[in-house]
């Protein structure tokens, strides 16, 4: 019990590390919370600092979700504890203890956390996400499709124990993307464009 509780705390703290913020400050000398979408996520970092740095932020945010959850599967097979681990990483990114309870939108960290629990489900969900982004040009819409697909595919794939966590993750993702949802509905969302971007665009990150 003590080990499990300590692991959850560690997972939350690891999830709280704002890699996108660190990369943007070190590479561009700017705070992504004050430019672009004002988000610390990979999309905003890519727009502000360049694609390769966005990819670096994406990879690190994904890994901070994946590694502690994967490690937890080495000593526990209980779906409830593992679900809490996944959500701890996601909540850490969204509500970082290092940023006064603020954070990113949790897309990459959600991918990483659930990849450790149900890899094929996540791979298929990400494939749907990529197809959506490629066809629509909207990263935010791809994230929303991923969020909706995750619990559904967990259910269809027989990972019943992780479905509640998938639903919670979907709810958190949609809440964090609520402004994007409004802009998508109004036709005001800015599509992804490759290369560096000026800091006046308010986009998903």
Q: pLDDT tens across 104-161, in order?
A: 999 999 999 999 999 999 999 999 999 999 999 998 999 999 999 999 999 999 999 9
Q: Is residue 201 part of a domain?
A: no
Integer angstrom CA distances of residue 111 from 46, 103, 147, 194: 18, 16, 9, 22
At 77 the pLDDT is 86
Q: How many domains does the chain have?
A: 1
**pLDDT at residue 91 is higher than 80:** yes
CA 46 to chain centre: 15
The pTM (predicted TM-score) of the whole model is 0.89
Whether 144 is covered by a domain: the verdict is: yes
pLDDT, one tens digit per residue, over 53-64 is 999 999 999 999
Whether residue 194 is contained in a domain is answered as: no
Assigned domain for 203 exists: no
pLDDT bin (cut points 50, 70, 90) of residue 102 is very high
Domain that holds residue 47: 2-186
């Amino acid at each position: 019990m003590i080990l499990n509780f300590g692991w959850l705390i560690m997972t939350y703290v690891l999830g709280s590390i704002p890699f996108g913020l660190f990369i943007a400050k070190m590479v561009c000398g700017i705070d992504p919370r004050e430019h672009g979408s004002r988000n610390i996520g990979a999309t905003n970092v890519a727009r502000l600092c360049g694609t390769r740095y966005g990819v670096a932020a994406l990879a690190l945010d994904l890994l901070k979700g994946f590694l502690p959850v994967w490690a937890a599967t080495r000593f526990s097979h209980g779906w409830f504890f593992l679900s809490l681990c996944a959500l701890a990483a996601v909540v850490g990114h969204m509500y970082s203890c290092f940023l006064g309870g603020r954070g990113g939108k949790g897309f990459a960290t959600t991918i990483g956390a659930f990849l450790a629990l149900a890899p094929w489900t996540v791979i298929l969900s990400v494939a749907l996400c990529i197809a959506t982004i490629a066809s629509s040009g909207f990263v935010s819409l791809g994230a929303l499709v991923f969020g909706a697909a995750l619990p559904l595919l967990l259910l269809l794939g027989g990972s019943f124990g992780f479905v509640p966590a998938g639903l919670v993750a979907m709810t958190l993702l949609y809440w964090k993307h609520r402004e994007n949802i409004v802009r998508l509905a109004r036709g005001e969302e800015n599509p992804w464009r490759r290369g560096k971007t000026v800091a006046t665009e308010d986009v998903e990150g």
